[in-house]
Structure 1
């Protein structure tokens, strides 16, 4: 059975509406995607670290309860688990404040065995952070050697605007490792002061990775691959409760689609058909839309139950 390995930061998201807290759930860009995949019955493992505190206990139990292997979660003895405050505006888009313990000493990670056509998910500032770069590269090197598929969600927030020059070498390395790159126009405005998907692809992405997905909020998502535009995919209008997990669940849906269609590295290397791309983006958009229906950062349990994949996939 193919499996998905995700590496990233885990935080406790405290969600505010009208300046009042309305919920507190474990979160993090890769974490959210892994929970959604676990709810679909996908063999999933999360690589992350968290404190030996009540938040850390909640993180580990939440992963396990949702079908995600937590055996590789590192628990640091000194320092507290990070917290994120997410303030929802009138359109239910979030603005964030992050609180991290700077005294935390990052540990080496153990990496599960990887095989050909397994999928590795990396993303957000964690994938660039010099403090954990050694751990991320160790996973990427093993993934490449095994013939796994690497999916990179850039997810670069404005709060890291002043770090762009410092992390650019790591960003370029990640693009080179990646088989599929996704980013939002917000990411590229911060990184490159560009928002046109085709310009971004030709100037910044295609030299390193040939398959690129650019999401644009409520505007159509654009896919470019092998030098040209594959298509634009409209986003259905839906009532949103929170958009916090929309991009993360787009990633989960896309990865789910790779598994559902049986798409392997060989398929990627030979070039996907229009029908395959259409199916992948349809799954991605469906997962993203589902995650916007509640204050939680993931697809619902019922949605996941309806998306269960056969055990042999």
Structure 2
């Protein structure tokens, strides 16, 4: 991926500080997606809320410095800026403790949202963002305006329920989730699905979802569309941490897909970007598209040499 374009994507939901043992870093799934989209040359806009506190002031400054449009990030006088306690286990799996309630639970619908979302190429939202009624009602209004609705499943117990997520699934054009989330959600509706394909077909048929993307960590990712499926291998790399890797994947996928790139090229770039991010600390490290392209080329060259030396 090399070029910038005039694509517009609106991201709705949580913005926050991830509190790591080593210190705090900006985060939140949709904020991460917005950051990576902007870095990839896509105009990204955030609809969210921060508290009128020091954390909110600092978070707004970080977002503005990264180039993400914060025009629609509201300032909440009553609720504090979101924070999440983050820990990583010995297998590099991340655990989250999300404070509740916080400012992004109370995102209000505003008239300027109408034109913004109606004219955007995509609306990105997560299942977590509707855990409270105010933001849930706002998201419902935004979904009625959006031409292309992209749902990023983010199951964080106890902040989800099957009925609400089902409501979102019925409206989704592109669904992104990981293998664990696929298993949990499909099991809500049937205990008979034993394979990934069966689980995908269950969701596609029940909710009429045109496209589903499954991320699988070290096993890569899969795309399921109308009578087509594509599978892409992960990179064998040294992982620094996995925080935000799924968000960078989604951003890479959207940047390519909305530019009408071939699905194999799209998956190749999305998986490559996600791998690149896992070699860095934090969900939103500074980088340029050229850095990602170089990383992908280097990996492919090394993989080709290794395969030539050790043919299957």
* Same-fold status (TM-score > 0.5): yes
For these two proteins, the number of residue pairs brought into alignment is 279
Q: 2:127 aligns with which of 124, 132, 135?
A: 124
Task: Give the Å deviation of 1:136.
Answer: 0.4
Task: Give the Å deviation of 1:173.
Answer: 2.7
* Relative contact order higher in (CA < 8 Å, ≥ 6 apart): 1
Q: 1:296 aligns with which of 267, 282, 305?
A: 282
Task: Give the Å deviation of 1:10.
Answer: 1.2
Which ranges of structure 2 fall in alignment gaps of 5 or more residues? 1-5, 188-192, 294-312
Which residue is equivalent to 1:34? 34
> How do 1:83-102 and structure 2 match up within 5 A?
83-101=83-101
Which residue is equivalent to 1:6? 11
Which residue is equivalent to 1:177? 171
Q: So what's the TM-score if we normalise by structure 1?
A: 0.81
> How do 1:131-142 and structure 2 match up within 5 A?
131-142=134-145
SS of residue in 2 equivalent to 1:67: coil
Which ranges of structure 1 fall in alignment gaps of 5 or more residues? 16-20, 264-274, 308-313
Which residue is equivalent to 1:73? 73
Aligned alpha-carbon RMSD (Å) = 2.4
Is contact 2:18-2:27 (8 Å) kept? yes
Corresponding position: 1:254 with 2:253: yes
Task: Give the Å deviation of 1:77.
Answer: 0.4
Task: Give the Å deviation of 1:248.
Answer: 0.8
Q: So what's the TM-score if we normalise by structure 2?
A: 0.81
Is contact 1:128-1:171 (8 Å) kept? no
What are the Cα deviations for residues 261-294 of structure 1, in whole angstroms up to 9, with x where unaligned? Answer: x33xxxxxxxxxxx71101111211221122122
SS of residue in 2 equivalent to 1:202: helix
What are the Cα deviations for residues 150-174 of structure 1, in whole angstroms up to 9, with x where unaligned? Answer: 21111223x237x43xxx3332232
Q: Pick the structure with greater CA Rg.
A: 2
> How do 1:104-253 and structure 2 match up within 5 A?
106-110=106-110, 111=113, 112-115=115-118, 118-127=121-130, 129-143=132-146, 148-157=147-156, 159-160=157-158, 163-164=160-161, 168-193=162-187, 196-207=195-206, 208-226=208-226, 228-253=227-252
What are the Cα deviations for residues 35-71 of structure 1, in whole angstroms up to 9, with x where unaligned? Answer: 1112223211001111011111122111111111101
Which residue is equivalent to 2:265? 279
